[in-house]
Structure 1
Amino acid sequence: MKDNTTITIIGGGLAGCEAAWQAAARGASVVLYEMKPHRFSPAHESEALAELVCSNSLRADGLNSAVGLLKEEMRRLDSLVMEAAAATAVPAGKALAVDRQGFAAHITRALEAHPAIEIRRQEVTSLPQASEQAPVILATGPLTSAAMAEELQRISKDNLAFYDAIAPIIDADSLDRAKIYRKSRWDDDTPGDYLNCPLSEEEYTAFLARLMAAPTVPLKDFEEAKYFEGCLPIEVMAARGPETLRFGPMKPVGLAHPESGEMPHAVIQLRAENREETSYNMVGFQTKLSYGAQQEVFRTIPGLEQAEFLRLGSIHRNTFICAPKLLDPSLQLLERPGLFIAGQLSGVEGYVESAAMGLLAGINTAALALGGAPTPPPPAATALGALVRHLTASDAGHFQPSNVNFGLFPPLRQKMRKKERGPFRAKLALELLESWQESLSARG
């Protein structure tokens, strides 16, 4: 029988392992469930915890990037994932990459040796009863088993997705406004909410040829090309015929230029990702093109020649909840007190982001289990806080998982050169994080 300070964590990936480490470090007892080696997902093959199933890279490590800043914030919170990465790093230029087996082994040994953590190697097919005295963290990852996905779909009231259909996001400052105009379809009386990149017939034909010739990311062995008709990859739509895109996401109808009155042959619309309009989504441009091909092809679009992509498009199997409808800023389900969602399941993308949400879930569940209240989230101008803000304050109708990027941060009040923004944001974020940590210490 568990005592009332025990935290149950389901899933031994990066998020679950980081959550266990953080909770145990704060005095809570943890039971961590991992179904391997009794059962493996289609992508896993090692018995170790925290197995990296795709790349061995944790991406950029410099403070001028949002993910580099996120890693530094995690280091300052004594992250086990960051400790393991430092111990097993391999040469990767300005990126942080790790020895895959060594990384997983380091984390497995650390958790097995911790006196407050019990690892149970068994599959959990239904959620245990959660309460504020006995919290539960669900961190089963994007390949959550069918039984657990069915359980999660029930408690999330169908606000659950099984495939990502993600369109690229572009830094607003990198757009060429001289070639782009603002207008919403059929809306002649106001400036409109959309930015429009117009293409002539010649430009459209050339774009279509480049799109169809570009390489795509192959499906995994366990994935099927079962796309939702309403969010087909842009290249799949294009393959149906040369006019398909002009009657779909590139339809020009109602989008005559507000000054010249000229009607373009085709249009690519950009929709603001946040109220501050610091980043824009390429509407309808979910894609399986390779990352390199996306940048090459999409930068041929008028107005996007110098586009800085904050997130590139993808379509892949990935179970995640509609976090803005379901989670509070502690990562706790609004209607199920004591049940927390962490990792990619919560609606973030990437190894580091998944571990970061595990870190916060571990801190918050420990506070609850030990008789306190969840901690306030880190400030929105930190990388950790920006991710929480994305999960809980985004428009639920357009919510999609995201990597950390500076487009998720509050806009800067000061005007400065592009190369100065990253270091400025990092300095501010780390100062705010330090104040946040001090407030946690003061709470006891």
Structure 2
Amino acid sequence: MTETLHIVGGGMAGAEAAWQAARMGRPVVIHEMRPRVGTFAHRTGNLAEMVCSNSLRSDDDERNAVGLLHWEMRQAGGLIMEMADRHKLPAGGALAVDRDGFSEAVTERLRAHPLVEVVDEEVAALPEAGHWIVATGPLTGSRLAESIAAETGRDSLAFFDAIAPIVHADSVDMSVAWRQSRYDKGETEEERTAYVNCPMDRERYEAFIDALLVAEKAEFHEGETAGYFDGCLPIEVMAERGRETLRFGPMKPVGLTNPHDPQRKAYAVVQLRRDNALGTLLNIVGFQTKMKYGAQKAVFSMIPGLENAVFARLGGIHRNTFINSPTLLDAQMRLRSRPNVRFAGQITGVEGYVESAAMGLLAGRMAAAEMAGGALPPVPATTAMGALVHHITGGAEAKTFQPMNVNFGLFPPVEAKGGRRGRKDRYLAYTERAKADWSAWLEGMRAAA
């Protein structure tokens, strides 16, 4: 009788792990607590539902680490990337998707697979036997989190993650705002006009910062402390770090020209990005927030063009837990104290949808190979996938371990061709080496199969 792989969690990592294992011939059961047990952030019971943003970030696979990760996942037949490409929205050089169409397509594909079963149930404790992958993500159920903490003997690490608000596109005043991607980036007119831009002069910007600093914020429960992930900081926290911080972050005014007043440069710009295929919803880019709902409406109405904005969803903040992977996981992503259990996704300490799905891809393949009596060859650390898995399974400093996006700082150093020293040349050298090594690794796996 063929053994079954059980996966806890049907987010990005769980969905990708199930797809990869099923493609390798292993029966898979996905245990997803939604919609039976809901969360504050999710709206549906679909697999791979996107809640924080609808963007998978840069798709540049030549000089960007996350774009390279996209490329590697595509080469490996990744379901997440296939569905993202099918449901892509114009977003300049980024890969943004229609979040509903995307998650519905992932769910349909997995439910239709003859080797995949999706069970709507909550797993409340780490299993004693069988082959399991825990891919529960940042909103791991409290009972399972307690079981993990009891098994590891360590307090769960945590930081706080925030989501950005979404507005109805027809409520934006386009006599003030305009459509343009930064530096007119994109191959088509639709891509070059993928963002809606709301300009601020210095006076409006200073007033906006003042309002952010005094706005009523969500409070934490007793005993909780806020250690934010730098890639998803609430805008109020950024403002507290300095009045100019937002102007050099999500509100930077560079690469944009206001057609309503071409000669006047904005002091700061708020950007909104399409959030669905119809273009009826817009996500306020980089505006994750912990402000209370009433404060959000008051402060965001100060943004030129959003004075009468209608919100489809306001921002929010939630606790995001992850394990100290460098001390707890082996090189095959197995829990050292209970090797029948693997971990994948954000709970391992990678940050971002793409990174989570990538670790699901590897965990699914690793589990399937082990169940077939073999082992997945080590992933080259020179690849984006390998750099991430090496980081979380021993490369990171355990005492200071925090969630990490993929970046070239995780890769072994490389010299640019001809000894050139520019950053872009080095990044190109990283991606060229990674692509060659990833292609060779995949070919080795195919030959072994």
TM-score, structure 1 normalization = 0.68
- Tell me, in whole angstroms, the C-alpha distance in 1 between the residues paired with 2:215 and 2:16: 31
**What is the identity, as a one-letter code, of the residue corresponding to 1:379?**
P
Task: Output aligned runs, 1:26-37, within 5 Å.
Answer: 26-37=24-35
**How many residue pairs end up in the alignment?**
336
Aligned residue number for residue 220 of structure 2: 224
Between 318-327 and 432-441, report the one with greater CA deviation: 432-441
- Tell me, in whole angstroms, the C-alpha distance in 1 between the residues paired with 2:349 and 2:328: 11
Alpha-carbon spacing, 1:220–1:409, altered in 2? closer, same or farther (3 Å): farther
Alpha-carbon spacing, 1:218–1:124, altered in 2? closer, same or farther (3 Å): farther
Kept in 1, the 8 Å contact 2:72–2:384? The answer is yes
Alpha-carbon spacing, 1:160–1:232, altered in 2? closer, same or farther (3 Å): closer
Aligned residue number for residue 308 of structure 2: none
CA apart distance, 1:439: 2.1
Between 289-298 and 23-32, report the one with greater CA deviation: 289-298
SS at match of 2:427: helix
Alpha-carbon spacing, 1:102–1:358, altered in 2? closer, same or farther (3 Å): same
Aligned residue number for residue 305 of structure 1: none
Alpha-carbon spacing, 1:102–1:288, altered in 2? closer, same or farther (3 Å): closer
Aligned residue number for residue 75 of structure 1: 74
**What is the identity, as a one-letter code, of the residue corresponding to 1:106?**
A
CA apart distance, 1:412: 2.0
Kept in 2, the 8 Å contact 1:23–1:366? The answer is yes
Alpha-carbon spacing, 1:128–1:286, altered in 2? closer, same or farther (3 Å): closer
- Tell me, in whole angstroms, the C-alpha distance in 1 between the residues paired with 2:216 and 2:30: 31
CA apart distance, 1:37: 1.7
Alpha-carbon spacing, 1:226–1:402, altered in 2? closer, same or farther (3 Å): farther
Question: Is it true that 1:404 corresponds to 2:409 in the alignment?
Answer: no
Aligned residue number for residue 142 of structure 2: 146
Aligned residue number for residue 200 of structure 1: none
Alpha-carbon spacing, 1:442–1:42, altered in 2? closer, same or farther (3 Å): same
Q: Tell me the alpha carbon deviations over residues 305-349 of structure 1, each in whole angstroms, 9 at most, x when there is no partner.
A: xxxxxxxx9996211000100111221112211210001001110
Question: Is it true that 1:10 corresponds to 2:8 in the alignment?
Answer: yes
Alpha-carbon spacing, 1:216–1:142, altered in 2? closer, same or farther (3 Å): farther
SS at match of 2:111: helix
SS at match of 1:136: strand
TM-score, structure 2 normalization = 0.67
Runs (5+) with no aligned partner, structure 2? 163-205, 249-287, 290-316
Question: Is it true that 1:110 corresponds to 2:109 in the alignment?
Answer: yes
CA apart distance, 1:421: 2.1
Task: Output aligned runs, 1:195-214, within 5 Å.
Answer: none
Aligned residue number for residue 394 of structure 1: 396
- Tell me, in whole angstroms, the C-alpha distance in 2 between the residues paired with 1:396 and 1:142: 19
Alpha-carbon spacing, 1:116–1:165, altered in 2? closer, same or farther (3 Å): closer
- Tell me, in whole angstroms, the C-alpha distance in 2 between the residues paired with 1:328 and 1:150: 21
CA apart distance, 1:59: 0.5
Aligned residue number for residue 421 of structure 2: 416
Question: Is it true that 1:329 corresponds to 2:331 in the alignment?
Answer: yes
Task: Output aligned runs, 1:18-417, within 5 Å.
Answer: 18-63=16-61, 64-130=63-129, 134-163=130-159, 215=212, 224=220, 288-289=234-235, 297=244, 317-373=319-375, 375-392=376-393, 393-414=395-416, 415-417=420-422
Kept in 1, the 8 Å contact 2:12–2:356? The answer is yes
CA apart distance, 1:440: 1.7
CA apart distance, 1:286: 11
Alpha-carbon spacing, 1:153–1:214, altered in 2? closer, same or farther (3 Å): farther
- Tell me, in whole angstroms, the C-alpha distance in 2 between the residues paired with 1:8 and 1:327: 18
Identity across the alignment (%) = 45
CA apart distance, 1:163: 2.4
- Tell me, in whole angstroms, the C-alpha distance in 1 between the residues paired with 2:404 and 2:212: 23
**What is the identity, as a one-letter code, of the residue corresponding to 1:71?**
H
Question: Is it true that 1:430 corresponds to 2:443 in the alignment?
Answer: no
**What is the identity, as a one-letter code, of the residue corresponding to 1:111?**
L
Superposition RMSD in Å: 3.5
Kept in 1, the 8 Å contact 2:414–2:429? The answer is no
Between 328-337 and 99-108, report the one with greater CA deviation: 328-337
**What is the identity, as a one-letter code, of the residue corresponding to 1:409?**
F
- Tell me, in whole angstroms, the C-alpha distance in 1 between the residues paired with 2:213 and 2:99: 25
- Tell me, in whole angstroms, the C-alpha distance in 2 between the residues paired with 1:55 and 1:379: 30
Kept in 1, the 8 Å contact 2:415–2:426? The answer is no
Q: Tell me the alpha carbon deviations over residues 167-222 of structure 1, each in whole angstroms, 9 at most, x when there is no partner.
A: xxxxxxxxxxxxxxxxxxxxxxxxxxxxxxxxxxxxxxxxxx99x8595799997x
CA apart distance, 1:121: 1.0
Q: Tell me the alpha carbon deviations over residues 59-93 of structure 1, each in whole angstroms, 9 at most, x when there is no partner.
A: 01001111000010000000000010011111111
CA apart distance, 1:369: 1.3
Kept in 2, the 8 Å contact 1:329–1:376? The answer is no
Kept in 2, the 8 Å contact 1:24–1:116? The answer is yes
Kept in 1, the 8 Å contact 2:415–2:429? The answer is no
Kept in 2, the 8 Å contact 1:377–1:388? The answer is no
Runs (5+) with no aligned partner, structure 1? 167-208, 234-280, 302-312
Aligned residue number for residue 268 of structure 2: none
Q: Tell me the alpha carbon deviations over residues 350-369 of structure 1, each in whole angstroms, 9 at most, x when there is no partner.
A: 00000000000000000111
Kept in 1, the 8 Å contact 2:49–2:103? The answer is yes
- Tell me, in whole angstroms, the C-alpha distance in 2 between the residues paired with 1:323 and 1:20: 21
